Amino acid sequence: MTTKAAERKKLHGTGLRYWVKLRADIKRDRWLYLLLLPGVIYFIVFKYLPLFGIVIAFENYVPYSGVLGSQWVGLKWFQYFFKFPAWVTYLTNTLILSFMNIIFYFPAPIILALMLNEMRSLRYKKLLQTLLYVPHFISIVIVVSITFVMFGPSGIVYKGTEMILGHPINYMGSPDTFRWMIIGQTIWKETGWGTIIFLAALTNVDTQLYEAAMVDGAGRLRRLWHITLPAIRSTIVLMLILRMGSMLDTGYDHLILMANPLNRKASQTLDVFVYQQGIQQGQFSYASAIGLMKSIVSVTLVVTSNKIAHLMGEQGLY
Amino acid sequence: MAEANMSSPQHKKMIVSTGPVGQNATVSSRIFDAFNYIFLTLVAFTTILPFIYIIGASFATEYEIATRPMFIIPRDVTVNAYRFIFSSNKILQGFGNSIFITVCGTAINLFFTVTMAYAISKPRLRGRNFFLNMVIFSMFFSGGMIPGYIVVANILNLKNTFWSVLLPGAISAYNMMIVKNFFQGIPQELEESASIDGCTDIGVLLRIVLPLSLPVLATFGLFYAVGHWNAYFGAMIYMTGAKQKWPLQVLLRELIIMSNGSAGDMNNLDPEFVQPPEQSIKMAVIVVSTVPIMCVYPFLQKYFVKGVMVGALKG
């Protein structure tokens, strides 16, 4: 105690006073820092080390030499990717799937939310919601497995098509059906769950607007179009911006389950390419370079679409 | 949210006023309602139809699946498929692995999340902003799939161990921030009185804070547990050389997706399933691996919807 007081006296009037206070504070909170430690180690090892690991995109990474010891090759992998015309296929497959997702999946939760919002029986509405949310909690492996069991060669849908058309359709192994299967699975799995955010936005609608519109003689559809839909406009824009940012992400966990040699003409997207090159073939540097390029484009897309949202008079993402 | 909707008087009022009820209802409004009800009922039915079919067919004989084109309830009910599953070491082991990963993983998640959230929830902590920013930054920028893989597989050398699926997702930054906000809402006086009585910060956390946050812990435990039960990607890429440690989801991929003729990856198939498994067995495996999720579904729906709402209100 006395030494501490003496120490403090000695340092009085100098910048060191700050450090003494800091030391005392840290000592007081030592147990809190101990609690903080596991989390901080986790973030350094599993979040920041990989972030630093992006440098392998500019190296010829060999696991034996390590990230620091591998040879620096600059932009070699980026040039290598564009040297072969195959990159056009990867990019078009990715973009087609993304646009199909925006055209066919994106509006689905909005329409469903609007329809649920018009339900008069709240009990029935709740029952429907309970059923509609189920697929969201089912793992993607099970979703794809169910698809294989039903659409595969001995499945119920496969046989049904054969009966109706006279010839079967190879749903699971054809580039023509691949994209529709992916979109169909996404719609089935996520539409119900996707309504939540729009239903939340719909609870904020001013009810006086409906009353005023009714007095003016507006029917159900007109009220839906002129009051309900504008009320969720900013939520829709926000979701669209988020979607634009992930334009190049087709999601590898879903796609690599559905991709096979027979449908590779359609299933080879950038994400699948990164997985195959990096994880399956061990071309770590090459795959990282493609991944990095994708991230840079994604950030640019988010910034751009956010700017467009501002120009449209919406609040946007930030 | 469904509940929140219903209990709020504003919503009730809105429902009444979106369309006239009873005698006042116009013909077009009634048609609108009828169409709406029929359409939504059909959508909900389509959503659960695959499950109903799979459950029905898992109890059917192989002959019936092959010959009868479409059915929901099988003519001859048999539990042969389930008998096969529960006599197959492979599937039982996968089930055990999934349970092990889910239980241990969730425990690790809760430990890491709670300790960090508690420390970071204290405004007096020196360097708190630095640590907060460190977490937030990681939510927006990530190294991507390959650098993450290299850290786990080459730097930490965790391939073919359970750690490779337990550790990489130990904290969800988003969940941690919500738990942190909850801790900040606990009255300071409670904690102060305990520390005056000689409790260290860890003692306060264990004796005061945690007992008060049991519902929150249950919610996030459930979040994490469902994530672990459904995960397959980590186990698939890190446990390539340890099939006996595979969780059910990776096994399911091998049994149903890879064994399908079109996958063209038959040489990876396990000797126990040299022949692609029968349809009814595939269906029964799907049912067995979905049952645990269905058991917690009532809770999931309640809590997860709230979770989405928290995110929506913040954003």
Residue B13: per-residue pLDDT: 42
A26: nearest CA in chain B? B126
Picking from B146, B176, B233 by the largest number of A CB atoms within 10 A of its own CB, the best residue to mutate is B146
B232 touches chain A (CB under 8 A): yes
Residue B115, min C-alpha distance to chain A (Å): 5
Please state the rounded mean pLDDT for residues A138-167: 90
Residue B133, classified by CB atoms within 10 Å of its CB into exposed (0-12), middle (13-18) or buried (19+), is exposed
* Element containing residue A72 per DSSP (H, E): strand A71-72
Domains and CATH numbers, chain B: 28-78 (no CATH), 92-314 (1.10.3720.10)
Predicted ipTM? 0.85
* DSSP codes joined into one string, B231-259: --HHHHHH-TT-GGG--HHHHHIIIIIIT
Task: List, for residues B171-206, the tens digit of each pLDDT value.
Answer: 999 899 989 988 988 888 888 888 787 788 888 899
What proportion of chain B, given as a percentage, has pLDDT over 90? 43
Among candidates B226, B215, B217, which has minimal Cα distance to B289? B226
**Cα gap B127→B304, rounded to integer Å:** 32
A 10 A CB-CB count for A209 gives: 17
Residue B303: per-residue pLDDT: 76
Residue B44, pLDDT > 70, answer: yes
Contacts of A295 in chain B (CB under 8 A): 144
B109: nearest CA in chain A? A39
Residue B54: per-residue pLDDT: 92
Name the region of A93 (left: φ>0; alpha: ψ -120 to 50; beta: rest).
alpha
Higher pLDDT, B17 or B277: B277
Distances, alpha carbon B242 to alpha carbons A53, B177, B263, in Å: 26, 35, 22
> Would you state the structure tokens that stand for residue B283, as one six-digit string?
């269906």
A264: nearest CA in chain B? B263
Q: Is the pTM of this model over 0.80?
A: yes
Determine phi and psi for B183, rounding to 5 degrees.
-60, -35
> Would you state the structure tokens that stand for residue B66, as one six-digit string?
């092959």
Cβ within 8 Å, pair B283-A154: no
> Would you state the structure tokens that stand for residue B111, as one six-digit string?
């430990």
Those of residues 263-292 in B touching chain A at CB distance below 8 A are 263-265, 279, 282-283, 285-286, 289-290
Q: Number of A to B CB contacts under 8 A, please give it.
A: 315
**Cα gap A216→A136, rounded to integer Å:** 41
A164-200 burial code (b ≥16 CB/10 A, e <16) = eeeeeebbbbeeebbbebbbbbbbbbebbbbbbbbbb
Residue A292: per-residue pLDDT: 92
Tally DSSP H helices, then E strands, for chain A. 20, 2
DSSP state of A106: T
pLDDT range class, residue A57, cuts 50, 70, 90: very high
Mean pLDDT rounded to a whole number for chain B: 82
Residue A142, min C-alpha distance to chain B (Å): 6
Best CATH choice for the domain A76-311 from the list 3.30.2040.10, 1.10.1050.10, 1.10.3720.10, 3.40.640.10: 1.10.3720.10
Residue B257: per-residue pLDDT: 82
A276 touches chain B (CB under 8 A): no
**Cα gap A268→A256, rounded to integer Å:** 9
Residue B309, pLDDT > 80, answer: no
Cβ within 8 Å, pair B148-A54: no
Q: Which among B10, B289, B312 has CB closest to A197?
A: B312
Q: Which residues, in sequence order, are CB contacts of B125 under 8 Å at separation 6+?
A: A29, A32, A33, A36, B119
Mean pLDDT rounded to a whole number for chain A: 88
Residue A317, pLDDT > 80, answer: no
Contacts of A197 in chain B (CB under 8 A): 308, 312
Please state the rounded mean pLDDT for residues B276-302: 86
A277: nearest CA in chain B? B146
What proportion of chain A, given as a percentage, has pLDDT over 70? 95
Task: List, for residues B226-281, the tens digit of each pLDDT value.
Answer: 999 999 999 999 999 888 999 999 999 988 887 765 444 444 445 455 455 688 88
Residue B315, classified by CB atoms within 10 Å of its CB into exposed (0-12), middle (13-18) or buried (19+), is exposed
Contacts of A283 in chain B (CB under 8 A): none
Name which of A35-44, B61-70, B109-118 the model is least confident about.
B61-70
For chain A, which residues make up each domain, given as ranges?
2-72, 76-311
pLDDT range class, residue B307, cuts 50, 70, 90: low
| Torsion, CA A28, CA A33, CA A34, CA A38, rounded to 10 | 170
Those of residues 77-106 in B touching chain A at CB distance below 8 A are none
pLDDT range class, residue B28, cuts 50, 70, 90: confident
